[in-house]
Amino acid sequence: MYEFDWSSIPGALPLLARGLGITFELTLTAIAVGIAWGTTLAMARLSNHKWLGGAAATYVNLFRSVPLVMVILWFYLIVPQLLKMIFGEGIADIRFTSALIAFALFEAAYYSEIIRAGIQSVPRGQVSAALALGLSYRQTMRLVVLPQAFRNMMPLLLTQAIILFQDTSLVYVIGLSDFFGTAYKIGDRDGRLVEMLLFAGLIYFVICFSASQLVRHLQNRYAR
Amino acid sequence: MPYHWNWSIFLSPVPSGETTYLGWLGTGLQWTITLSLCAWVIALALGSLLGVLRTVPNRWLSGGAATYVEIFRNIPLLVQLFSWYFVLPELLPPAMGNAFKQMNPLTQQFIAATICLGLFTSARVTEQVRSGINSLPPGQKNAALALGLTLPQAYRHVMLPMAFRIVLPPLTSEFLNIFKNSAVATTIGLIELSRQAQQLVDYTAQPYEAFIAVTLLYLVINVTVMFFMRRLEQKVRIPGYFGGSK
């Protein structure tokens, strides 16, 4: 029978915490940029402008049909060369930068679909009323439609954030030491991969489960 | 230094000389499809069963299914894959664990990836099936029971045929997801499409051609699945419902 030996975990905690920091940094940046860029994409898709709508639709469909692993690899191919072209040599952490850009642009495609549905959930009469009151299209969007849309789609946005948090572990494919990458490397180094993987799984579970319970709680409170 | 495009690279033979790089892509495509389809069979079977259990009037059964869903939804796919591949063989009784470790590496990777993807997706399918069953008017179940059907019969003849047709569109997107998620198997070395993309980069130093080709293949898979599922959706659409799809 396998003999568990958890002794390498306490010593590894500072490194794991640093990895968790990177995981959160990736998640939060991707959420912020993803929602901002996703809102822009959603509004472009809903606009009457044919080219703009078509371009946004192509962007969203392209990103949604390609596996995240491929997107991360793509950006790890392109971003370092772009950075070299712009800043010359000597960029410190290319992996982190390219992962950050990959996640932000990838998540924007998913967020834009959620946001588009959210905007469409606001009754048309509201837009007509706002326009009739003399607000411009821009003001209507900013002051009337978007605040209600975001309120409606809050649970979905948060659920997507939890999925994103889990997906950041895929930066493993470019060797970035996020929480999972760190756990794997330490486990491999100490020959305690079994314990480390179980521990990592437990931590992910605790974080994601609490977050999803919180989302459910918020949902019940707002969906009165 | 400008990049030298060289699309004919796909026709040149691989180092071992058995096939061309195009052949490698073909192998990758085969593994991606085989893995996804096998995992989908597990996901659909187990997901349907658990989805039904989620809705039955028995606290233990529905609670057990709910726990299953929470566990598989709240742990990243990559961690689950590594657990199946690295952790489980160690925890099994030594005889079984060793038997697994002595298999051909490709078989090991394939088994681990199939079980992992299948169970991971089954948790999502469970939730879809449950929401489909819950979306049915309660009168249907009551009417079936009042007519003298037993509860299993009511599920079998009345509720499930309706529920599956309603949840077909979200199931389609889970089906598409399984192809995309199969790319995660690259991390344990299974030679599916993304792995082949990386291998091509290593061997040919023509990263853009390799990545573009593999990305296009994923797009083709996506479009093909979408095409057939749309036809299926139209065929089984319930008259009087909004088709359930957009």
ipTM attached to this prediction: 0.90
Which residues have CB under 8 Å from B67's CB, separation 6+? none
- The answer to whether the beta carbons of residues A204 and A166 sit under 8 Å apart is yes
The answer to whether the Cβ–Cβ distance between B214 and A70 falls below 8 Å is yes
At residue B246, the pLDDT reads 38
- Gap between the Cα atoms of A108 and A129, Å rounded: 30
- Select from A150, A26, A162, A36 the least CA-distant residue to A96: A26
Report the share of chain A in percent with pLDDT over 90: 69
A1 occurs within a structural domain: no
Judge whether residue B76 has pLDDT over 50: yes
A74 occurs within a structural domain: yes
Judge whether residue A150 has pLDDT over 50: yes
- Looking from the CA of B159 toward its CB, the CA atoms found within 13 Å total 29
A216 occurs within a structural domain: yes
The answer to whether the Cβ–Cβ distance between B194 and A70 falls below 8 Å is yes
Residue B61, class by beta-carbon neighbours within 10 Å (0-12 exposed, 13-18 middle, 19+ buried)? middle
Q: Least CB-CB distance to B90: which of A2, A167, A212?
A: A2
First to last CA, chain A: 53
Domains in chain B with CATH codes: 28-236 (1.10.3720.10)
The answer to whether the Cβ–Cβ distance between B183 and A68 falls below 8 Å is yes
Q: What are phi and psi of A88, to 5 degrees?
A: 75, -170
Instruction: Enter the DSSP assignment of B87.
Output: I
Question: Which of B36, B72, B74 would best serve as a mutation to test chain A binding (most A beta carbons within 10 A)?
Answer: B74
At residue B245, the pLDDT reads 40
Question: Which one has a higher pLDDT value, A55 or B13?
Answer: A55
At residue A223, the pLDDT reads 66
Report the range of poorest mean pLDDT among A49-53, B210-214, B222-226, B241-245: B241-245
- Gap between the Cα atoms of A141 and B142, Å rounded: 46
Local confidence band at B244 (pLDDT 50, 70, 90 cut-offs)? very low
| H-type alpha helices, chain B | 21-55, 59-73, 77-82, 88-91, 94-101, 105-134, 138-146, 151-154, 160-166, 168-181, 193-204, 207-236
Question: Which one has a higher pLDDT value, B32 or A7?
Answer: B32
| H-type alpha helices, B138-192 | 138-146, 151-154, 160-166, 168-181
Summarised one tens digit per residue, pLDDT across range B5-44 is 888 888 888 888 788 899 999 999 999 999 999 999 999 9
Summarised one tens digit per residue, pLDDT across range B1-13 is 678 888 888 888 8
Stated pTM of the model: 0.90
**Cα separation values, A184 from A5, A169, B73, B108, B112, Å:** 16, 11, 21, 20, 18
Is residue B169 within 8 angstroms of chain A, CB to CB? no
Distance (Å) from the alpha carbon of B145 to chain A's nearest alpha carbon: 32
Summarised one tens digit per residue, pLDDT across range A10-37 is 888 999 999 999 999 999 999 999 999 9
- Gap between the Cα atoms of A148 and A139, Å rounded: 14
B191-208 burial, b for 16+ CB within 10 Å, e for fewer? Answer: bbbbbbbbbbbeebebbb
Neighbours of B102 (CB within 10 A): 8
**3-class secondary-structure state, position B20:** strand
A2 occurs within a structural domain: no
At residue B156, the pLDDT reads 94
Report the share of chain B in percent with pLDDT over 90: 72
- Gap between the Cα atoms of B1 and B135, Å rounded: 60
Contacts with A1 from chain B: Cβ below 8 Å? 93-94
Residue of A nearest to B223 (CA): A65
- The answer to whether the beta carbons of residues A38 and A20 sit under 8 Å apart is no
Judge whether residue B242 has pLDDT over 70: no
Residue B244's H or E segment, with its range, is none
The answer to whether the Cβ–Cβ distance between A73 and B211 falls below 8 Å is yes
| H-type alpha helices, chain A | 8-46, 50-65, 68-87, 94-120, 124-132, 137-139, 146-167, 179-190, 193-222
Distance (Å) from the alpha carbon of B239 to chain A's nearest alpha carbon: 25
A111 occurs within a structural domain: yes
Distance of CA B112 to the CA centre of its chain: 13
Is residue B74 within 8 angstroms of chain A, CB to CB? yes
Helices B21-55 and B59-73: angle between axes, nearest 10 degrees: 150
At residue A59, the pLDDT reads 96
Judge whether residue B75 has pLDDT over 80: yes
Extract the tokens encoding A120: 């469409």
**Cα separation values, B160 from A45, B140, B173, Å:** 36, 11, 19
Mean pLDDT taken over chain B: 91
Summarised one tens digit per residue, pLDDT across range B180-216 is 999 999 999 999 999 999 989 888 888 899 999 999 9
Domain count, chain A: 1
Which residue segment(s) compose the domain that A73 sits in?
10-222
At residue B12, the pLDDT reads 84
CATH number of A52's domain? 1.10.3720.10
A4 occurs within a structural domain: no
Residue B2, class by beta-carbon neighbours within 10 Å (0-12 exposed, 13-18 middle, 19+ buried)? exposed
- Select from B104, B122, B128, B7 the least CA-distant residue to B68: B122
The answer to whether the Cβ–Cβ distance between B215 and A166 falls below 8 Å is no
Distance (Å) from the alpha carbon of B198 to chain A's nearest alpha carbon: 9
Report the range of poorest mean pLDDT among A44-48, A119-123, B32-36, B239-243: B239-243
**3-class secondary-structure state, position A91:** coil
Summarised one tens digit per residue, pLDDT across range B145-186 is 999 999 999 999 999 999 999 999 899 999 999 999 999 999
Judge whether residue A95 has pLDDT over 50: yes
Amino acid at B189: G
A42 occurs within a structural domain: yes
Report the share of chain A in percent with pLDDT over 70: 97
